[in-house]
Each structure stands twice: as C-alpha cells, then as structure tokens.
Structure 1
Amino acid sequence: MFAVYAAEPKPDDPLAALTVGERPDPEPRDGWVTVTVKAASLNMHDLWTLRGVGIKAERFPMILGCDGAGVLDDGTEVVLHSVIGDPDWSGDETLDPKRTLLTELHQGTFADKVIVPRRNALPKPAELSFAEGACMGTAWLTAYRMLFVKSGLRPGQTMLVQGASGGVSTALIQLGRAAGYRVWVTGRSAEKRAVAADLGAHQTFESGARLPERVDAVFETVGKATWSHSMKALKPGGIIVVSGSTSGPDANADLQRLFFLQLRVVGSTMGTRDELADLLRFCASANLRPKIGTEVPMDQAPAGFQAMADGETAGKIVFTR
C-alpha cells in the first residue's frame, strides 16, 4: 500500500529520512480494526520521529502520522485517538506508563490503511469533514485538555496563548473564544498575529511585548523563547499550562517569582479517549472547525513537512487520500 514513512532515523537532517513509497498492508489483530484513511494531519511529533526521538532504531521503517480520519470496513466514518495504552490499565490513559502514540510502536496514519484498537476509532460527527476530523486527535485534543481539564479557568477570565499559528495554538484560540474566555495571543510576525485575530483572539501582541495587564493563565508550547515572558505575564496565583517546548526545554525557572507570587505550573500531555469524544461533540454543537492552513494530497507530503520544519504554518497541515 502507499505510505509516507521514516526509512531510518536522521537526527541532523530529518527530512532526508522522509520516504514516499510502498509498505506492506497492516495485518489484522484481535480487538483491532482496519481504517481506510481519508485524511491525516501533520504534527511536530512526526518531525521528532524522523530524528529518531522517542522511537527505538529497530522500529524503523515507521509509517508516520499520529492523527487521522477515515472509514471502517462496514462504512462507519471515524476519527482516530492516537494514544494506545496497556489493555490492563484503568483510569486516565495519559498516565499509563506503558502508553504509546501511533508511530512510536505501531505504524501510523500516513498510508492507505491503518489498524488501531477498536476503542481508538470514534464516530466522526457528520458536521466535520474528514480533513477537519483528522486535526482532532493530537493538536485539538491537547488544547482541549490544557484548557478545560488542567487550567481551572472560568469564562470571563483572561488567557494568553504563546505563539499564534501552530496547531495547538490555533485550537486554543478557537476553543477559548467559544468557551467565553478573553483570549490574548503573541506572535512573531504580523501575518501570524493576523491569523490569530481572524480566529477570534481579542487582542494580539508581538512576542515578548508588555501586556496591558497580567493574565489568569498562560498556555505554553514554545518553552525557552517565551518562558520568561510567560512568568512575568501572570497574575499572583495564576497558572501556566505547558504541553511542549519547541524552542528548547532549558527555560529559566524564575523560582523567586514562582513562590513569592504563588504561581502554578502544570504539565499536560495529549488527552483521553473520553475527552476526545467530548471535544468532537463540542465542535459539532458549537459549530467549531479547525483552522487548516494547508491541505495537499498525501503524495505531496514532503512539501508539508518542509513547511512545518521552516515554521511556515497558519493552522494545521493536512494530507488527503
């Protein structure tokens, strides 16, 4: 079958490991279902896989793609949940020490077909297209958990999103606006800030700019480049919710500010199957649609990978079949 995959790890030149070609069809397994992929979205995780981060060398070649939407053999339209846990685990699967994502142990969604545990294929709302559904499982689920499970924000409070145009950031903007928060956003360029404004941000600012007032919560996916600003932006007792560090993890902790102002820092990783089901219902009922910046046929995937590597994103990058 057709697939986009990492042939081998290339830590210093990840795009050199990207291959478009043929891979064996997935073999059926008890309790798993086969999904014919209609659309799949690109995540930063896929670039890390090309570098060999979070995956053992013996697992290559690895079909890329954490997220997707498609059709079961019986015609049911589904959205995929990419967190695959231990069948014996109970509770929040993001805390399962044996959990993996698609592309870490099991082959991913950038292919004609993918197999997943039956519970990982959720009914796709009719209101969402396949391309829109393919954005839900990582970026939008991550944003949903950060905002509604981890932050403790109340409608009317002010949230700051660091970074204006990536998949998680655009999801945070749209979800926050729909939920009644005052949404502020920083962005490196006027173009990226314009994307945020179009999605519903109440105000946008240059990266690192002094804000009109301190905020109740900051949503961090950038890390080193924005951490100091995030700490200074918070009201006493405020919270930073962190789900990534794309600019590097070695941030200045600013511990004096942390304890003196009683700030809180909370980590957040992906989300649960039940949270994804809630997110899908929320998007359908609130008429929310993910911001898709680029949609191209899957055989043109290298162009999408290059755009992500260059930071040239304005929403999600989606590949279609």
Structure 2
Amino acid sequence: MFAAYAARISPDDPLSALELGELPEPEVRPGWSVVTVKAATLNHHDLWSLRGVGLPAERLPMILGCDASGVDEHGNEVVIHSVIGQSGHGVGPDEPRSILTERYRGTFAQRVAVPTWNLLPKPKELSFEEAACLPTAWLTAYRMLFTNAGVKPGDTVLVQGAGGGVSTALVVLAKAAGLRVWVTGRDEAKRARAVELGADAAFESGARLPERVDAVMETVGAATWSHSVKSLRPGGTIVISGATSGPSPKAAELNRIFFLELKVVGSTMGSKEELAGLLALCANSGVRPVIDSVRPLAEARSAFEQLERGQVFGKLVLTP
C-alpha cells in the first residue's frame, strides 16, 4: 500500500528522511481493527519523528501521521484516537502510553491498524477532512481549555502564536465557550485571520497587553515564555502543550511565578472521552476545524515543506 514514512532519522534535515512509496499492509492482530483512511492531517509531531524524537532508528521504517478518519472493516465511519496503551485495550496492560508513529505505524497510508477501542463514530455532520483534524491538535486545545485552564465564560485567554493547528483550535473553541480571546503572532496576516476566526484582539509577539489575562495557552515555548508569565494576572494559569521554538527559555521567571502564585500546567493530547466530547461539540454547535489545504497523499512532501516553513493557518489535510 502507498504511504508516507520516515525511512531514516535526520535531526538537522528532517525532510531528507521522508519517503513516499509502497509498504506492506498493516498487521491484523486480536482486538485491533484495520481502517481504510479517508483523510489524515499533519502535526509538528510528524516533523519531530523525522528528527528522531520519540522514534528510535530500530523502529524504522515508520509510517507517519497521528490523525485520521476513515471506514473500518464493517463499513462504519470512524475517527481514530491516536493514544495507544492508555487503556490496555489491544496492548499489554503495562505498556507505556504512546502516540501513533512512536511504536505503531501511523495514518499517512491507505490503511492503518489500531486497537478497536481507539475508534469513535464519526458524526454525520462532519466531513472526513474535518473529522481528521480533531484527534491531535484540536483535542490538545480542547483539553487545554476545558480540563486544565480552569477558565469560565467571560474570562480572558491569551493564545500565543497565531496560525498553527492548536492555536487556531484554541481561538475557535474559546470563543464558542464564551471567553474573551487575545492572540499574539509575528505575522500580520495571520493575526488578521485570527481576528476573522473570532479573536477579540491580536497583538505582535511580545507586545504589552492592555491588561493581564486569566490564562495563557502556550505552545511556542522559549520564544514566548517570559511574555506568557508576565501577561498573567496574580493566580492565573499557563497551560503548556508544546515548545515549537525550543524548551529552554532565557529566563524561567521563577520569582514572578512563586510571588504571584501563578500556576503552570502541562497538557498532552487528551483522552478518548475528551475526544468524544469534542466531536459532540462540533456536531451540535456548528464549530468546525480550520483547514489550510487538502492534498492527495502523493503530495505529502509539499505539505511537510509548508509545515516546516511555518506558512500554515489551520490544518494540512492529506487524502489517500
């Protein structure tokens, strides 16, 4: 079957490790289902995999892709929850949690095998392309806001970094929940588009805000960390789910964190139950993922190049 996969590890030139071509069909094992992929989406996790983060060389070649929607062997339209080992379903009870492409082959292929427990019904209101956007970036945003941030309608949330899959999801979901949303970004066009999505205001990266906020949604890391800490009201919360600019800020701002009793909460992906809640929210409210573009899987390399350049607003979708 045709697939996009990591053929080697290249920390400095990740796209040189990407190959497109034929690989064997997925292995069928007890308690697992084979899904015919209808749509899959890119995440920064895929670039990190090509760099060897979370993917040792002995597991190569590894099909990339965490997100997908498709049709199972019984004809059911499904969405894949990509966290494997969280429940013990389909794997050993003591197996550590992993995400597709770390231990098991991912979704950038015509077919993928996952534990049957990891399948959720695709709402009829969502297209395959829309549904495929939800299990990683949008689920991450959903958990950040509704499980970890401790915010309520009327609160003000700052989203660092306009344009990416998680940040656009945060804007849309936060507005749907009745929050005031501020966004920062280096690119003027992306800031303008964030306002079109529903952000109440957009500022240049590092700009002084009109007032301190109740919570900061942080995915950028080192480049924005000090600004995130300084933007919080006393007792406010930073929820961090990524560090695309690096994990080591010049200043940790520890004095400010303890003196103002700020909370720093790590957040990774989300549970199957949270994904079910996100799917229901989208189906019932009219909220839809922001899609940058849709390409055939055969053009995956150009999508990876776009993601690496950072010239993305929303999700990049691939269709086998």
Give TM-score scaled by structure 2 length.
0.97
Change (3 A) 1:58 1:124: same
Change (3 A) 1:297 1:88: closer
SS of aligned partner of 2:264: strand
Residue type of the alignment partner of 2:164: G
Name the structure 1 match of 2:199: 201
Residue type of the alignment partner of 2:300: A
Name the structure 2 match of 1:93: none
Cα distance in 1, alignment partners of residues 64 and 282 from structure 2: 26
User: What whole-Å deviation, never above 9, does each CA across 1:130-189 have from its counterpart, x for those lacking one?
Assistant: 011111110000000000000110100000000110000000000000000000000111
Residue type of the alignment partner of 1:80: I
After TM superposition, the runs of 4+ consecutive aligned structure 1 residues lying more than 6 A away are: none
Residue type of the alignment partner of 1:185: V
Change (3 A) 1:213 1:86: closer
Q: In the TM superposition, what is the alpha-carbon distance from 1:253 to its structure 2 partner? A: 1.3
1:300 paired to 2:299:
yes
Contact 2:40–2:129 (CA<8 Å) still a contact in 1? yes
* Cα RMSD for the two superposed structures: 1.1
1:178 paired to 2:176:
yes
Counterparts in 2 of 1:1-321, with a 5 A limit? 1-85=1-85, 87-88=87-88, 98-251=96-249, 252-321=251-320
User: What whole-Å deviation, never above 9, does each CA across 1:199-250 have from its counterpart, x for those lacking one?
Assistant: 1101111111111110000000001100111011000110000000000111
For structure 1, which segment, 48-57 or 107-116, has the greater mean C-alpha deviation from structure 2 after superposition? 48-57
Number of paired residues? Answer: 315
What are the ranges of 5 or more consecutive residues in structure 1 without an aligned counterpart? 90-95
Q: In the TM superposition, what is the alpha-carbon distance from 1:27 to its structure 2 partner? A: 1.6
What are the ranges of 5 or more consecutive residues in structure 2 without an aligned counterpart? none
Residue type of the alignment partner of 2:115: P
Cα distance in 1, alignment partners of residues 246 and 200 from structure 2: 28
Residue type of the alignment partner of 1:133: A
Change (3 A) 1:97 1:220: farther
Q: In the TM superposition, what is the alpha-carbon distance from 1:195 to its structure 2 partner? A: 1.7
Cα distance in 1, alignment partners of residues 140 and 86 from structure 2: 20
Change (3 A) 1:290 1:236: same
SS of aligned partner of 1:141: helix
Give TM-score scaled by structure 1 length.
0.96
SS of aligned partner of 2:300: helix
User: What whole-Å deviation, never above 9, does each CA across 1:5-42 have from its counterpart, x for those lacking one?
Assistant: 01011111110011110000012110000100000000
Cα distance in 2, alignment partners of residues 244 and 277 from structure 1: 23
Residue type of the alignment partner of 1:234: L
Residue type of the alignment partner of 2:312: T
Contact 2:88–2:95 (CA<8 Å) still a contact in 1? no
SS of aligned partner of 2:313: coil
